[in-house]
A and B are shown apart, each in its own frame.
Chain A
Amino acid sequence: MDTIFVGGGTPTRLTPAQLERLLSVIRIHFPLAAGGEWTVEANPGTLDADKSDVLAAGGVNRVSLGAQSFQPRLLAALERNHNPEDVPRALDLIRPRFPFWSFDLIFGVPGSTPADWSEDLRIALSLDPSHLSCYGLVYEKGTALWKQREAGLVTPVEEDFEVEMYTETIDVLANAGLSMYEISNFARPGHESRHNLVYWANDAYFGVGLGAARYLEGVRSINTRDLQAYLKRVEAGGDPTGPSETLGPEERARETATLMLRRTQAGLDRAEFELKTGFAIDELSRAAIAKHVRGGLLEDDGLRLRLTRQGVFLADTVLCDLL
């Protein structure tokens, strides 16, 4: 494997012994290639020295820490059970053991102000990360926040504030040497998440475990999210795959375009796109490209299309026209 990502939020809830077993199973079935990237997600509240040792000894070389915020009231709003102090403490465990690490932050949490976010960014940079993910809060259908918003219990942050927060993120991180390489991801050169770049190139990946997604030979499928059903099927030697989706060649090409353009530096390279999909992007979306280049949301140097600064803020407006 070139890259492995153990995610789902809380692998560090496992005991050291369980973690060790998980890693050894992965090593048997999916050995990592030389120079490969192996990331494990960690929760600041549950990571300790023993678990860190197990991860490092097991071959993991990158940790992604779910920090989310340094403000106790915003962590509460996000229903996270760790404290702000847990983040530097966890990083003290991570730094000496892993060559690569990153943490996540969320802006636009209900009740937050641009001042809160400036403070979060300041604290984040004081920890000297080489990679950061900063997400504008999304109200996902089915989540607690979504239900609270529907019930009128929380009020989303005003759009102008969100814009201000996102703008500051891009500028402040760039000044600190972390440049935006995807809509929500920032890194020093060479520290980008190689695993996630696979998704944005629309390349293939395996997926193992409850609710895991995979994309193999043009088929997207996802394992059942029902733990009982999952166990029953796996233990019976069966296939835990739930719904799957196969797109036609053109739809797949269009989807590839919307993913590639999320890469704010690499963008969509015409030659790479055609090689990968068999379609010329200009044949698929000439009018949409022209419209958004004219509107200042896309830049086109003849070889490569990229979202402009304004285009990043209105990415969905551009991407939906490419479908």
Chain B
Amino acid sequence: MAFDPKFIRNFSIVAHIDHGKSTLADQLLLQSGAISQREFREQLLDDMDLERERGITIKARAVAINYTLEGQLYELNLIDTPGHVDFNYEVSRSLAACEGAILLVDCTQGVQAQTVANAYLAINGNLSIVPVLNKIDMQAARPDDVKEELFNTLGVNPDEVLACSAKTGEGVGEIFKAIIARVPHPAGNPSAPLRALIFDSKFDDYQGVVTYVRVVDGHLKVGQKIRLMAGGTTYEVTGLGRFRPHEVACEELGVGQVGYVTANIKQLADVRIGDTMTEHPRGAESPLPGYQEPVQVVYCGLFPATHNQFEDLRTALQKLALNDCSFTFEPETSDALGFGFRCGFLGMLHMEIVQQRLERESNLFLVQTAPNVTYEILTKRNEVLHIANPTRIPDAGDIEEFREPMARVNFILPSDCIGAIMQLCEDRRGTYIKTEYMTPTRAILSYELPLAEMIYDLYDKLKSATRGYGTMDYELIGYRADELCRLDILVAGEKVDALSIVVHKAHADRRGRRLVKKLRAEIGRHQFEVAIQAAIGSRVVARETISALRKNVTAKCYGGDVSRKRKLLEKQKEGKKRMKQVGNVEISQEAFLSVLDDGDE
């Protein structure tokens, strides 16, 4: 017999990064007895090394918690969500499996940009919100201010706001009660054909693809034939289970229940997140509403530092794609860098994580080109091109209209920092939209900014301009035409395609001058003089020269010096590992990335 859905609650925790989501999740597990004090360890739900290091939950997880209230056993399914803006789409798909969400706010820091963004995702998904203040045991806690911020930004009734300390466990009992009282139970039809929402998946070396599902109608049983409605493929269920938080197998999942399914699915690409799993041959008539597909917003080229590692890189990317279907890659050839891949990511953090995992897990040295966005170009022949690689941008004469992706950015920041951030946005071709005050000292500032102007370091700049108190969130709002052009870089007279960037015409000369200066510092000296030029079409806008290296020799090398001397040479050699030979010039990884940072003179 399946568990009566009346006593099931499916919920997520949404919060701004570092507001204590993982700690609260651990505390809920601890207080419900799902784990013992002995097993209680920090960030229990984050089991990838990289996540642990960064304190960020990347892959959503689902844990089934038993909780008894007034003699009644409840099944509470906690579906974890990531907090970083890059992983917004993962938040939305986790929320689609829930009826409610805890909106967790660190009451020493108050409402932040992702608090608002994630709360809206939950509200728009018709979820019941349980607002909870965290860290009330801290001296700097200011619960009344934060309640006011919640009311002003999200219309949250201050009387409904709970308070807790996820660290000490204070107030957590009230949270259980509120979830049971305020979050609706699942309302599915147990006798209808199976409909289960696939909200995540992972690849396991032994079991193949493991899908995470939420049963909406009907039920899932081991041995049952299933069909993925969008994919049209059929499988037989080989295993079912729940996370408590460790995997516990079960025979059946009924209405409202959340768990994992294995069905001899060979590769991750066979499963579309958001697809509906139904039974076969008696299938449901219509699938559940799917949700937002991941959108890659940042692209970069990844090239092996040594020529013969192209296939190794392909293998490594394929392997990584088994676990992360949110990045894309396709082969690309660069005159300067040889064979590599153009990869698309959800954001800068995502890009960094993928690159680190590639190097860490596959022992590859990579050269990465500067990240860029996708441009839309209307040619004179009336074609519309989408180009994610600046090298491929046609000559200026063939372009009718050059369009770039725009983002609507919301900053939440102390009011006295508004001026600094407005200046930052104006410098980056932003269009002011509005300012709203949450409280007299904290405001939401909205701008429209070209995505290209914000992907690299806007977040860091915001943090430093607001002493760490500012946060931001953005959404893409489509393309807009502007006076853009491609700026090329020539090293020793040769155009280095991987260094080309797209710039606004009004800033092109200044940008070019700054860029060649930076490259002059980043490209090492050679035995000959090396000229670096920036050019738009055939017009050179800036030039610098790197003087020749004339002496590089260790004078003394006798018996006692040999080891030390060899280590010094090895160090010189190590520095060359990430270098690419372009013509006669060796260009370092740092040089390829230096085209990015144009913030400071």
Contact = CB atoms under 8 A, between A and B. Distances in A.
B555 interface: yes
Contact of A323 (B527, B552, B573): B573
B139 to A, nearest CB: 43
A262 B527 contact: no
Contacts of A138: 554-556
Given A220-B563, A320-B572, A315 B553 contact: yes
B527 A315 contact: no
A320 B573 contact: yes
B562 A255 contact: yes
A196 to B, nearest CB: 6
A183 B555 contact: yes
Interface string A189-228: 0000000101110100101000111110000101000000
B558 interface: yes
A214 B558 CA distance: 11
A213 B560 contact: yes
A205 B550 contact: no
Contacts of B572: 316-317, 320
Contacts of A262: 557
Contacts of A319: 569
For chain B, give the interface size range.
20 to 34
A166 interface: yes
A314 B550 CA distance: 7
Nearest to A223: B560
B517 interface: no
Contacts of A212: 560
A316 B559 contact: no
Contacts of B553: 136, 183, 312-316
Given A222-B560, A295-B527, A136 B555 contact: yes
B557 A314 contact: no
Interface stretch (A49-57, A85-93, A109-117, A157-165): A157-165
Contacts of B576: 320-321
B551 interface: yes
Interface in B533-551: 549-551
Given A136-B553, A184-B555, A255-B562, A317 B570 contact: no
Contacts of B467: none
B559 A207 contact: yes
Contact of B551 (A136, A196, A198, A258): A136
Interface in B563-601: 563, 565-566, 568-570, 572-573, 576, 584
Given A138-B556, A316-B572, A320-B572, A259 B551 contact: no
Give the residue among A207, A220, A310 with the most B Cβ atoms within 10 A: A220
Contacts of A166: 551
B83 to A, nearest CB: 43
B558 A199 contact: yes
Given A160-B550, A314-B549, A323 B569 contact: yes
Contacts of A245: 563
Contacts of A312: 553
Interface string A132-157: 00011110000000000000000000
Contacts of B555: 135-138, 183-184
A205 B573 CA distance: 28
A259 B570 CA distance: 14
A297 interface: yes
A148 to B, nearest CB: 19
B228 to A, nearest CB: 50
Contact of A163 (B527, B551, B563, B570): B551
Interface residues of A, number: 44
A10 to B, nearest CB: 16
Contacts of A320: 569-570, 572-573, 576
B562 A313 contact: no
A274 B570 CA distance: 22
B235 to A, nearest CB: 50
A317 B557 contact: no
A128 to B, nearest CB: 24
A156 B167 CA distance: 56
B560 A162 contact: no
A199 B569 CA distance: 17
Give the residue among B549, B556, B570 with the most A Cβ atoms within 10 A: B556
Contacts of B552: 313-317
Contact of A159 (B527, B550, B554, B557): B550
Contacts of B556: 135, 138, 184
B560 A211 contact: yes
A272 to B, nearest CB: 18
B575 to A, nearest CB: 9
Interface string A92-115: 000000000000000000000000
Contacts of A317: 527, 549, 552, 572
B559 to A, nearest CB: 5
Give the residue among A183, A222, A312, A319 with the most B Cβ atoms within 10 A: A319
Give the residue among B549, B565, B566, B576 with the most A Cβ atoms within 10 A: B566
A213 B527 CA distance: 35
A76 to B, nearest CB: 21
A258 B553 CA distance: 12
Contact of A199 (B527, B559, B568): B559
B565 to A, nearest CB: 8
Give the residue among A136, A163, A207, A297 with the most B Cβ atoms within 10 A: A136
B554 A310 contact: no
A92 B584 CA distance: 53
Contacts of B558: 196, 199
A317 B524 CA distance: 12
Give the residue among A196, A214, A297, A313 with the most B Cβ atoms within 10 A: A313
A323 B560 contact: no
A120 to B, nearest CB: 15
B566 A205 contact: no
Contacts of B549: 314, 317
A265 B303 CA distance: 41
A215 B562 contact: yes
Contacts of B554: 138, 183, 315-316
A85 to B, nearest CB: 26
A270 B569 CA distance: 22
Nearest to A243: B563
B567 to A, nearest CB: 10
Nearest to A315: B553
A313 to B, nearest CB: 5
A2 to B, nearest CB: 14
A213 B559 contact: yes
A270 to B, nearest CB: 21
A222 B564 CA distance: 12
A313 B569 contact: no
A313 B559 contact: no
Contacts of A205: 559
A64 to B, nearest CB: 11
B569 A258 contact: yes
B325 to A, nearest CB: 39
Contacts of B570: 320, 323
B553 to A, nearest CB: 4
Contact of A313 (B550, B560, B568, B573): B550
Given A183-B555, A320-B570, A321-B573, 20 more contacts: A135-B555, A135-B556, A136-B551, A137-B555, A183-B554, A183-B557, A202-B562, A213-B560, A215-B559, A222-B560, A258-B565, A258-B566, A258-B569, A259-B557, A313-B551, A314-B550, A314-B552, A315-B552, A316-B552, A321-B576
25 contacts: A135-B556, A136-B551, A137-B555, A162-B551, A163-B550, A183-B555, A183-B557, A198-B559, A207-B559, A207-B560, A213-B560, A215-B559, A220-B562, A245-B563, A258-B566, A258-B569, A259-B562, A296-B527, A310-B527, A313-B550, A313-B552, A316-B572, A317-B527, A317-B549, A317-B572
Ranked 9 nearest A-B pairs via Cβ? A213-B560, A320-B572, A135-B555, A315-B553, A320-B569, A320-B573, A136-B555, A316-B552, A163-B550
